[in-house]
Amino acid sequence: MARIKAMLFDMHGTLVHKENDVTDKEISDYLFSRSYEISQQQLRAAWAFVSFIDYPKYGYRSWRSFFSQIFRRLKVKVDSETLQAIVKMLESRPYQLFPDVAEAVPKAK
């Protein structure tokens, strides 16, 4: 039998979750309030593209860089105050470990 050298876990929804995640509707509503017409569907599609296509290639170290790429994909130039408000919105709701993760990961090792 081959020895396992590494084990990879998907973080979001597997190891961690957010009690009250920021929704694409909240962000879209905020953008509309700032005169950026970006629908929930457009935001969701760009977010998925950046998550699955761009992120594996380039990686993003912060919500700011991640959302900057989303806006580039949407071809929308968002002012820094709006971008910062979205980042604060996202950072105000931190990830939490699922209850069994702290016990399960060391056992998997």
- Using the predicted structure, report yes or no on whether residue 102 has a pLDDT greater than 90: no
Mean of pLDDT over the chain: 91
Q: The tokens of 12 are what?
A: 């979001």
- Using the predicted structure, report yes or no on whether residue 104 has a pLDDT greater than 90: no
- Using the predicted structure, report yes or no on whether residue 8 has a pLDDT greater than 80: no
pLDDT tens-digit map of 36-51: 999 999 999 999 999 9
Residue type, 1: M
> What's the chain look like in SS3?
CCCCCCCCCCCECCCEECCCCCCHHHHHHHHHHCCCCCCHHHHHHHHHHHHHHHHHHHCCCCHHHHHHHHHHHHCCCCCHHHHHHHHHHHHCCCCEECCCHHHHHHHHC
- Using the predicted structure, report yes or no on whether residue 86 has a pLDDT greater than 90: yes
- Using the predicted structure, report yes or no on whether residue 107 has a pLDDT greater than 90: no
Percent of the chain scored above 90 by pLDDT? 61
pLDDT tens-digit map of 11-25: 878 888 888 889 999
